[in-house]
Structure 1
């Protein structure tokens, strides 16, 4: 009996891991999270299921760089490739470099919207975010710019 339970748990974990991996499948930014997520000076965040449900999301991943310079060429290359698939693009470019970008990707499944957000900050910092879920573009903008009490 214990073997059946153990096997069932392993199968469920593998299915859950495959679902997360599939979420960014076909996107170049997935390599940024995989390659640099555990580097020194880099912080990667993935929200828990409870937090995701609060914001109508099925996946939220962010990666922040204290010093983006060593990674910027790779990130820019990945964003350029993924933006070709985007159905909505808003960017701020200065000196030929993307300072901030908002990319809405086509849905893979009905009612699952996908977004890539990128922003460089002061002193060479940067953050890359991937979000998918039921929230639409207006919900995302409201969430990003809502006042904190």
Structure 2
């Protein structure tokens, strides 16, 4: 019985995290699309762990295979086109950095961060990172969190 309750609670937490990006193009990138790829890592933080960093949802996806990058860039630029505020930088004709503030949803502010480290001037690495964050926090707080 305890196991059934635990599974039920775990399912509710996962469903809540999945709903966080509902309506966004990046939602298709999370939740198992890259589950079996050795070239991708997905991190989901919700509940008490997310609360420790003042967020309701923190999701990240890191990709190390260039063949997996185009759908990520398409989704980010699609959602970024609807952002209420954004900071972007292109290098060599490709999106290097993107920080997007989306319209609030259910009282929470929403943010997307994208970084293609292969385009870094110092210490380039073959890693593309996408982070989605949601919570009752400011843009300044998120920028500080990202820099850590």
- TM-score bracket for this pair, using the shorter chain length: 0.7 to 0.9
Which residue of structure 1 aligns with residue 28 of structure 2?
31
Q: Are the equivalent residues in 2 in contact too, given 1:64–1:125 (CA < 8 A)?
A: yes
Greater Cα radius of gyration, structure 1 or 2 = 1
Q: Which moved more, 1:53-62 or 1:34-43?
A: 34-43
Q: TM-score, normalised by structure 2?
A: 0.83
Q: Give the Cα separation in 1 of the matches to 2:136 and 2:96.
A: 27
Q: What value does the CA root-mean-square deviation take over the aligned residues?
A: 2.1
Tell whether 2:25 aligns with 1:22: no
Gaps of 5+ in 1: none
3-state SS of 1:135 partner: coil
CA displacement, residues 113-146 of structure 1 (integer Å, 9 cap, x when unaligned): 1111010112321111011111210111122235
Distance change >3 Å, CA 9–CA 143, structure 1 → 2: closer
Give the deviation of 1:93 after TM superposition: 0.6
Which residue of structure 1 aligns with residue 143 of structure 2?
141
More helix by share: 1
Q: Are the equivalent residues in 1 in contact too, given 2:13–2:46 (CA < 8 A)?
A: no
User: How many residue pairs are counted as aligned between the two chains?
Assistant: 141
Gaps of 5+ in 2: 118-123
3-state SS of 1:56 partner: coil
CA displacement, residues 69-95 of structure 1 (integer Å, 9 cap, x when unaligned): 101211111112111221111111122
Mapping for residues 53-64 of structure 1, pairs under 5 Å? 53-64=51-62
Distance change >3 Å, CA 79–CA 40, structure 1 → 2: same
Which residue of structure 1 aligns with residue 115 of structure 2?
119
